[in-house]
Amino acid sequence: MKYLFFACLIFCTISAICHPHVWVEVNTRAYTSENELEKIKLKWTFDEMFSMLFEEDFNDSKDGNYTDEEKEFVKKTVFKNMSDYNYYTTIKIDGEEVNLTPEFEMDTENRILIFNFTYNINEKIKDESQNILISVFDEEFYHDIELSSPVFKVEGESSDKVDFKVQEGEFEWFYSVIEVEELVIEF
């Protein structure tokens, strides 16, 4: 009976968090200059169906070619509203959570919707090891957001001093703790 209870508990947990409707893939790119980690850009690639739905509402020509005005409108509405969810992104520099507002740019690739979030980090690359932890996550599981390959790239001088790893972080969720993907940039 005990096993039945745990089985059902587990089933409920699994069932509770398998209900996304929108699928996002995230690629990260860092930009360095001499001895400084300047920017981190997160590129969100949405799924085809949601891209189409988005087009329906924001693209008059319905062909995936957004005009500058339409892109600006998306920035003023969608991006602005996302700030209430902190853009679903948590950034910690050396363990300390930071509240940064990214620059936003939307794009499309073959009618697939892309959101680009660029964070100005401006951290000096020192001898001691530092790290930046990034996790992109929808707590309501409406969006399933996951890191996809190529997970991380770095460009610029001092790029050889920057490395990364992907780890599982913990997120407290109701009665349990679930694992969430985290990108750790080490420099």
Partner 1 sequence: MKKQLLLFIFIITLISLVSYASPYNIERESESKERLKTEEVSTTAQVQKKSWIKMPTFINSIRKKIISYQRDLNRMISSNLNKLQKDRSLKTLLIIAFLSFVYGFVHSLGPGHGKVIIASYFLGKKSKIIHGVAAGSLMAFIHALSGTMVVLIFYFFLKKSLMSATSDAESGLRFVTSILIILLGSFMLINEILRKNKNYSDDNKVEVKGANQAYMLSIAAGLVPCPGVILVYLFSINLGVLRFGVVSVISTALGMAAGISLVAVGVIVARNYVEKITFYDFNTKNASEKESNEQKQNKLLKLKKFQKVFSIIGFSFIIISGFFMLLFV
Report the residue number, 12 or 98, with the smaller CB distance to partner 1: 12
**Token pair for residue 171?**
């997120």
User: Of residues 65, 94, 165, 177, which one binds partner 1 by CB under 8 A?
Assistant: 177
Q: Does the footprint of partner 1 cover residue 178 (CB under 8 A)?
A: yes
Residues touching partner 1, count (CB under 8 A): 51
Q: How far is the CB of 29 from partner 1 (least distance, A)?
A: 23
Q: How far is the CB of 186 from partner 1 (least distance, A)?
A: 24
Q: Are 7 and 132 in contact (CB under 8 A)?
A: no
Which of positions 11-70 make contact with partner 1 (CB under 8 A)? 12-21, 23, 47-50, 52-57, 62
Report the residue number, 170 or 186, with the smaller CB distance to partner 1: 170
User: Of residues 67, 85, 107, 122, which one binds partner 1 by CB under 8 A?
Assistant: 85
Give the closest residue to 136 by CA, choosing from 177, 187, 175, 82: 82
Choose the binding region for partner 1 from 34-42, 93-101, 154-162, 169-177 (rule: CB under 8 A).
Answer: 169-177
Give the closest residue to 100 by CA, choosing from 112, 114, 113, 87: 87
Contacts of residue 139, Cβ cutoff 8 Å, sequence gap at least 6: 171, 173
**Cα–Cα distance measured from residue 38 to residue 175, given in angstroms and rounded to the nearest whole number:** 39
Give the closest residue to 31 by CA, choosing from 152, 177, 183: 152
Which of positions 121-140 make contact with partner 1 (CB under 8 A)? 138-140
Cβ count near 8 (within 10 Å)? 10
Which amino acid, 27? N
Binding site for partner 1 (CB under 8 A): 1, 4-5, 8-10, 12-21, 23, 47-50, 52-57, 62, 77-78, 80-82, 84-85, 138-144, 168, 172-179
